[in-house]
Amino acid sequence: MTGDAAERLFPGAVRYRPGDGPALNAEILGLMRAGRKTATCAALSEFSEAEPAPEPGRVDIALDWAGQPALATRTLAVEQLRWDEMDEARVPPQGEFRDLADWRAGYRAYLTRAGRFREDLPLIYETFAVVHDFGEEAA
């Protein structure tokens, strides 16, 4: 499906590309499709006027690495916490980590690659539900 068609289905949806490379993007989208990833975390500083922070009730479009719509998600809840406040209970819904130690290692690496890491970094923790899979239309 093209971006224009996705916009017609979900007018005003914010578009975002999960991950910082093709492999991580594909992994995250796969976990979302499988229902294993129902939460995500991002540095508060990643958000801007062009890509505003998630808001409960809003529908966003997750893009594949080529920039094509992959999934539409509805934000269920948003909370702000610091990197050093992440706890074990918030890790399993993110899907890609075994435990808090694995999350810390993965996010430290991800945030360091982006030049954002610090232990007191403000994060946005978003809980979401997939409401539309654009990939099903191509199958």
pTM: predicted TM-score of the whole model, two decimal places: 0.90
pLDDT attached to residue 54:
94
Burial of 46 (0-12, 13-18, 19+ CB in 10 A): middle
CA torsion, ordered 41, 43, 46, 50, to nearest 10 deg: 50
pLDDT over 50 (residue 126)? yes
- 50-73 mean pLDDT: 94
Question: How many CB atoms sit inside 10 A of residue 129's CB?
Answer: 13
- 37-49 mean pLDDT: 93
Q: Does domain 3-130 have CATH number 3.40.1110.10?
A: no
8 Cβ contact partners less than 8 Å away, ≥ 6 residues apart = none
